[in-house]
Amino acid sequence: MASTAPARRPLVDTTAVDEFIDELLPEAVDWRHLVEKYPRTALAAAAAAGFWLARSRSQLVLTAIGSYFAASIGEVVSELGERTRGH
């Protein structure tokens, strides 16, 4: 039996994330290769960067997270409304 539920979008647009990281790092750094070769180190570096960012820019981070969740909830409510009207 085929599912009629619409395909879910990923939570994060990986293209935008890739472009953002490409802008932060010098062109000579192949960060994708480094993440594949050293995944634990990459995860630790990302956690450290996230910790630093949260400590130094906590209000900005909280505002961004709040905006993201508000937009996500708005999309879900909109989709539910469309499904309800469709029945």
Per-position pLDDT tens, the chain of length 87 = 455 555 566 565 667 767 777 777 788 888 788 888 988 998 898 888 888 877 887 787 778 878 888 888 888 888 877 777 766
What total of structural domains would you count in the chain?
Answer: 1
Residue 87: per-residue pLDDT = 61
Residue 10 lies inside a defined structural domain of this protein: no
Look at residue 80 in the predicted model and tell me its pLDDT: 77
Residue 19 lies in a domain: no
Q: Would residue 11 count as lying in a domain?
A: no
| 63 domain-assigned | yes
Domain residues for 54? Answer: 29-86
d(CA 44, CA 49): 9
Which amino acid would we find at residue 78? Answer: S
- d(Cα 70, Cα 62) in Å, to the nearest integer? 12
